[in-house]
Structure 1
Amino acid sequence: MSRRKIRSSNKSVFLTVEGMKCGGCVLSVEKTLLAQDNVEYASVNLIERTAFIELKNHTEDIEEIIKALTNKGFPAQEKKQSGSEYENEIDQAKNPWKQWNKLLIPLSLLVLSIIGHLAEGGEINIPVLGTLPFHASLATFALFGPGLTILKNGFKSAINFTPTMDTLVGIGVVSAYLTSLSSLIWPSVGWPCFFNEPVMLLGFVLIGRFLEERARFRTGQALKELAQLQPNKARLLNNENQIKEIRVGALQVGEKIEVLAGDRIPIDGIVLEGRSSIDISSLTGEPLPLTATSGQEISAGTLNLDGTLIVQVNRIGAETALARIIRLVEQAQARKAPIQSLADQVAGKFCYGVVALSIFTFIFWWQIGSNLWPEVLNSSGQGLINSHEHMLHSSFGSEAQTPLGLAIQLSIAVLVIACPCALGLATPTVISVASGKAAQKGWLFKGGDVLEKAASIDQIIFDKTGTLTVGRPVVTETLLTTDKDKLIQIAASIENNSRHPIAYAILQKAEEFNLPLLKAFNTKSIPGKGIFGELEGIKGIVRVGTIEWARNEGVSWNKKTDLYLESITKIGKSVVSISIDKELTGILIIDDQIRNDAKFAINLLRKQGQILRIMSGDRREAVLRIGNELGFESQLLNWQQLPEDKLKYLENLKNYGNIAMVGDGINDAPALASSDLGIAIGTGTEIAQDSADLVLLGDSLEGVPQAFSLAKRAMNKIKQNLFLAFGYNIIALPIAAGILLPRFGILLSPPIAAFLMALSSITVVINALYLKTS
């Protein structure tokens, strides 16, 4: 098994990490975490600004880990285990322009810079704005005002040998500023003066980051909406039956609360009084409401539709089903898909390569390029920039007068057009959107690696009982009786105290028909045969059990009935005889029914191209019948499989591609853990869910093909994003370095470079967001 499972024995910790801007930051944070003695595993999410770590020794605190990150320029703190940390972000979503200053300041810089150019060229009559002192002052304000954070972070990353996007931008704007300042103070040096460039650079970078933040917020919005499902207040019912509204966090296990119609349920609990319909679609994706009566378990975040309930508190806060779902989704977003490793490794080394390319570009155009192609000094203003004729304050890159001026322009363009951000965002944006969308539908992928694996599954193996079938026997037919209700009433009255599954099926049928049970006397069970006793109002001994037992007790029926019952037994159905003394009263046919949506789900999976199999511990006849009804060929069916047999069968199939196992029971847990992708039905046992990689919270098999479809679409988006990110840098960096300048006179000025850099990051985020609508 190469797939890594999260070990529950280790303490898992989530950290919020500030200061991350690109894939290089992600690699730096991960390296810092893994360098700590107590950290066994670390995975960082650039989108959510979180780090998921596993500790070797859970008794040690994490202060040293947090301190190490902070010292590297990434302030961190432990993430709370509730939805409260999302409240500020939800408020921002309701008012997207609440942090308007983040947009207003860079827009003002750009507007002032443009007005200054127009005033300098005589287009508008504001002479003071066209002077060099104004442009120098504006550039100084831009660097040491809104740009100061970028400069500080970039410098700190550089001295720690962990260069980031801030490092590249910082080097670019400081180089342009110092060059211009030197030219202003010492005109004799003959260097170009372009104070507008730091202003334009910072303006575009800050606007790009603002828009990127807005777009990135939307990628994780599904998880934030889940967190908001839990209300902050609850109506506590005290011992005097008085209602007091208190914070949900102040509730204690065992207390009682009142939930009114229209309110969301704030805790996991058990209904004590009342009857209502509960909308559970927000947690499981189930469209039909749950009917809640006394004894029914209900979960936090679900919606009480039409009745008042008195509920006993069972779990609160981080222990509720809703909180566990949020935690699982957070883990899924933190655990990387293998395809992301390449992007992270490239992004981690990317900044070093860009700095090297920038230095090479500077030296080449200063010492070599301008000598090989002297005409570039007269044509460097063409193409992707606009030119004008102001000598001292010429637009950066237009009409470069010296090799040094051109070299500075191109080397800075290389620095600011490079975009490790797009590489770092390409995969986690898609993982965040996909896992959030899946959680809203009740599908819990336990990691980005699970999403990637789900997209590459070749074969799917289904357990039968409880997975393809409802998992419990039901009465499907009554034979040899004219009074169906009376027959079921007699059988249910005798079986009332039995715990056998067949007894449950009969009692369930009696409840469905609203049949009152008769009082039973002297009942006795005979293992493997049935149960007998006496009933009030009925003369004689009543027997409910197998055909063979009834025959042995002297009950007989005609040969035609014998042949029919034998044919039913052969296809795996259970036959129950009901007799009074020696007289046969009737026959019940009991069977485990196929789920209503099983055929539809199976057909969807076949259309997707997977090979489907059934592997069950049930009898051959029952498996063959279910397989035949669902269109399986006999060679794709396996029966009477013990847990160890299932493991051997899986190992034999692994030579034929990646395998997914779908199950729900305790006996499925080893196979779920051993398969390439374990899928547990949410109505199954807890151990099955813990062993699985993908949990379907609802009671619907349709989620299986839909989850596979989402995984495939997500992987396509990841590949598209990586293509866009790599392609952008592969194309843009040579152009910025001047590869098209000698022949075509085309280059990228730094402001345009900064704009394209921001655009590349926003593009991959928006592409990921299309998953929400697909």
Structure 2
Amino acid sequence: MATNHQNTIKKTFPVLGMSCASCAISAESIVKPIDGVIDASVNFATATLAVEYLPNKTNPSVLQKAVQSIGYDLLIENEATQQETLEAIHEKNFHLLKQKTIWAILLSLPVVAIGMFAMNIPYANEIMWFFTSPVVLWFGKDFFINAWKQTKHRSANMDTLVALSTGIAYLFSVFNMLFTDFWHQRGLHAHVYFEAASVVIAFILLGKLLEEKAKGNTSSAIKKLMGLQPKTVVLILPDGQQKEIAIEEVHVGDTILVKPGEKIAVDGIVLSGNSYVDESMLSGEPIPVLKTTNEKVFAGTINQKGSFQFKALKVGKETMLAQIIKMVQDAQGSKAPVQKLVDKIAGIFVPIVIGIALLTFILWLLLGGNNGIVHGLLAAVTVLVIACPCALGLATPTAIMVGVGKAAEQGILIKDAESLELAKKINAVVLDKTGTITEGKPKVTAIKWLNEDTLAKQILLSIEKQSEHPLAEAVVNYFTDIKDIQLLSFESITGKGAKATYADESYFVGNKKLMADNNISIDDELQQQSDQWSQQSQTVIWFANSKKNLAVIAISDKIKETSLAAIEQLKAMDVEIYMLTGDNETTAKAIAEQTGIEHYKAEVLPQHKADFIKELQSQGKIVAMVGDGINDSTALATADVSIAMGKGSDIAMDVAKMTLISSDLMKIPQAIKLSRQTVATIKQNLFWAFIYNVIGIPIAAGILYPINGFLLNPMLAGAAMALSSVSVVSNSLRLKWKK
């Protein structure tokens, strides 16, 4: 295993042919030791291998050969064709499985009828053998082939259990049919159990068919998102002519025409025309958004009545839709912390079950009297049939898949299963002010000058043009009739403002702390005006030269309509709310009072936000940080659950584990509720998976026989096993319809 991870490649490959959680463990354990593999994780529910490897030491072909050696396969095609190939394979496999299941059931029906009601008809055993053989040896042959491949690698999975149980029942019945005298000479009746072998195969195939259908429904969110991309677009050529081309042929800079009712193909910016666009599948917001010149449009959104032309800015894998699909796929394929424990159990589950089956046979042989060998074999077969690890393997990942998919449909992007599981424990939420509680569209409402002159305005505009702070943009937008000038120098001072030089004089734009740090005297008249604006919850910026203040600027950023309701909901959920802002004390207090936030800190520098989160964590709190700017990235990385605003900076979204596409705070209580529902579903699934085996295995072994003479029929065990997997997946699907 390599330790230098600098030049590694991370990829996700579909795994074909897995039938249970133990299969996932087997595939994972065969890939992990390969030289050059840093980390590997196989998810049974999504049937994917997420692997990080060193390209100079290994490659996808090596990984594929390793996985093929134990009976599975790896799809290593490029991502563009992978999905289509995968769907075609799944469609073919589902059709084949359906045919196998139908034939297995049809051939098993006469076997059950004879075995249960007509054992004494002539040639009964031979007729049952005739119908059972194709079920076990043809429709069930994959179980035996895969079990043998596992055995060669000293491993075992569900196929091993099915092959052992049906194989023993079939061979034992064939022996009893051919050598009836062997038992008669010992005073016993030569029972045959062809119906057990054939029906178990039929039920397991039916269970797998239902499971495949149900698992297909868990990833419906991905299919919906993928269906949002049109196959073709109308390209506007340089001469003004229109040409229909495939979406793959679109390049950055191309001009594309969008007609009424059409889906937007790639991300871009409107050049001409205007229309309302339905962005609900990306943002979860039902109200269409008006798009005019210079407005951004996104792939997958639906144009309403108007038509417009836009320039392509992001195409292919770079579009927001493509990134959302990738993020949702990665999240659905990631493992929740609870899954790690389940994986360990699944890894030793099959060998333990085989051990219990052997012990059951031995105990029946020693204590079962005349029929000990027959009852022992039947009980061992029933133990092997009923103890399928499928339900255990599906319990967590199916719930995660549905939870992540549902979140995506509501405009909440979740990066990994861990943050979805952890969100339910959040008891402290730290909110940034600008762009999080407020709209993040600050506007200059007033400027008070001591001595107003054009040069001062030009210097102020020139400084703010070079600043990256969102408040600087408000000042730039205010001075539309002034031209900027060439500064001699410019320096950004984090958390305070900016300093610049023009004509041998220094100028400062920023907060009051910047003024104090540079010993600039505060004018009484400007101070009075500043206090008045601050009490009205407006942000105040000071402008000065090296000697005195020149002006004070009031900037207002409207509180979002939903912020108040979201904060009230979080408080009702016993979550403490904290607001951190670089703004002054008076403005921060006014915003806190308007939104009902009891805990707030003003004049906080970006590096101190992370320290504040650590302080809350040291008090035992599970902290969620919600921010939108570059200055929030350290705090986001420090928090237990990090939430970025979709309309914020790319860096914030890269760092955060969750992204609220619409930047609506109401999505936070929604995410916490969804986390609680998902974790509750996981617990229910695990309870049923465990309790099923805890109760089922002892009954299958014959624990009730001494009490009331009850011995579980292998056929019923097969039906119960199929039902357990389907019930777990169905319980996960219930998440879709919960509010």
Q: Give your verdict on TM over 0.5.
A: yes
SS at match of 1:36: coil
Task: Give the TM-score normalised by structure 2.
Answer: 0.84
Cα pair 2:9 2:53 within 8 Å, conserved: yes
Corresponding residue number in structure 1 for 2:421: 452
Deviation at 1:346, TM superposition (A): 0.6
Equivalent residue for 1:12?
10
Q: Deviations over 1:204-260 (max 9, x none)?
A: 111111111111111111112111111222223333433333321233333233222
Q: What secondary structure, in the 3-state scheme, does the structure 2 residue paired with 1:614 have?
A: strand
The residue type paired with residue 179 of structure 2 is W
The amino acid that maps onto 1:640 is E
Aligned residue for 2:574? 609
Please give the secondary structure, in 1, of the residue aligned with 2:717: helix
> Given the superposition, is the C-alpha separation of residues 588 and 207 from structure 1 closer, same or farther in structure 2, using an over 3 Å criterion?
same
Q: Secondary structure of the residue that 1:701 maps to in structure 2?
A: coil
Q: Is the 8 A contact 1:46 1:425 kept in 2?
A: yes
Whole-angstrom CA distance in 1 between matches of 2:219 and 2:471:
47
> Counterpart in 2 of 1:189?
182
Give the match for residue 749 of structure 1.
713
Q: Give the whole-Å Cα distance in 2 for the aligned partners of 1:662 and 1:258.
A: 37
Does structure 1 conserve the Cα–Cα contact (< 8 Å) formed by 2:40 and 2:49? yes
Instruction: Give the counterpart of 1:404 among 373, 376, 384.
Output: 373
Aligned to 1:766: 730
Query: What are the equivalent positions in structure 2 for 1:250-329 lying under 5 Å apart?
Result: 250-329=249-328
Once residues 45 and 587 of structure 2 are traced to their aligned partners in structure 1, the CA distance between those partners, rounded to angstroms, is: 49
**Unmatched runs of 5 consecutive residues or more in structure 2:** 184-189, 449-456, 491-496, 499-509, 512-524, 543-551
The CA distance in 1 between the partners of 2:322 and 2:137, in whole Å, is 43
CA 1:164–1:405: 2 relative to 1, 3 Å: same
CA distance in 1, matches of 2:269, 2:109: 61
d(CA) in 1 for partners of 2:182 and 2:69? 40
Q: Distance in 1 between matches of 2:276 and 2:222?
A: 25
CA distance 1:710–1:83, change in 2 (3 Å): farther
Amino-acid identity (%): 34
Corresponding residue for residue 483 of structure 1 = none
- Residues in 1 aligned to 2:332 and 2:641: alpha-carbon distance in whole angstroms: 17
- Between 178-187 and 349-358, the greater mean CA deviation after superposition: 178-187
For 2:144 and 2:57, how far apart are their aligned partners in 1? 39
Structure 2 match to 1:573: 538
Q: Which runs of 5+ in 1 are unaligned?
A: 1-6, 372-400, 480-491, 511-516, 530-544, 547-558, 578-586
- Secondary structure at the residue paired with 2:723? helix
Deviation at 1:437, TM superposition (A): 0.7
Whether 2:596 is the aligned partner of 1:596: answer: no
Match of 1:350 in 2: 349
> Which residue number corresponds to residue 120 of structure 1?
118
Quote the residue 2:148 is aligned against: 155
Per-residue deviation, 1:682: 0.9
SS at the partner of 1:594?
A: coil
Q: CA deviation at 1:165?
A: 0.7
CA separation in 1, counterparts of 2:226 and 2:287? 22
Alignment-mate amino acid for residue 680 of structure 1: A
Identify the residue that residue 474 of structure 1 maps to in structure 2.
443
- 1:256 & 1:461 partners in 2: Cα distance? 42
Aligned residue among 685, 701, 713 for 2:649: 685
Distance 1:11 1:521, change over 3 A: closer
Q: Is the 8 A contact 2:444 2:553 kept in 1?
A: yes
SS state of the match for residue 351, structure 2? helix
Q: Retained in 1: the 8 A contact 2:16–2:75?
A: no
Q: Deviations over 1:115-164 (max 9, x none)?
A: 44477358xxxx78x73222111111011221111221122112222211
* Cα pair 1:17 1:74 within 8 Å, conserved: yes
- Equivalent residue number for residue 494 of structure 2: none
Residues 346-495 of structure 1 mapped to structure 2, 5 A cutoff: 346-368=345-367, 370-371=368-369, 402-474=371-443
1:659 matched residue in structure 2: 623
2:218 matched to which residue of 1? 219
Q: 1:234 to 1:524 in 2, by over 3 A?
A: closer
Indicate the SS of the match to 2:109.
helix
Aligned mates of 1:202, 1:691 — CA distance in 2: 49
Matched pairs, number: 684
User: Conserved in 2, the CA contact under 8 Å of 1:110 and 1:200?
Assistant: yes
Q: CA deviation at 1:685?
A: 0.5
8 Å CA contact retained: 2:539, 2:584: no
Matched to 1:358, the amino acid is A
Aligned equivalent of 1:136, options 120, 129, 141: 129
In structure 2, the partner of 1:29 is 27
TM-score by length of 1: 0.81
Corresponding residue for residue 228 of structure 1:
227
Higher Cα Rg, which structure: 1
Letter in 2 for 1:11: I
Contact 1:86 1:227 in 2 (8 A): no
- Partner-residue secondary structure (3-state), 2:607: helix
CA contact (8 A) 1:666 1:688 kept: yes
What do you get for the CA RMSD once the two structures are aligned? 3.7
The answer to whether 1:627 aligns with 2:592 is: yes
- For 1:91 and 1:31, the matched residues in 2 are separated by 25
Aligned equivalent of 1:68, options 58, 62, 66: 66
Which residue in the other structure is 1:43 paired with? 41
Tell me the equivalent position of 1:393. none
Deviation at 1:60, TM superposition (A): 5.0
What amino acid is aligned across from residue 638 of structure 1 in structure 2?
Answer: K
Task: Select 1:650's aligned residue among 578, 599, 613.
Answer: 613
- Give 3-state SS (helix, strand or coil) of 1:133's partner: helix
Amino acid at match of 1:712: R
CA deviation after TM superposition for structure 1 residue 604, in Å: 1.0
Mapped to 2, the partners of 1:701 and 1:763 lie a distance apart of: 35
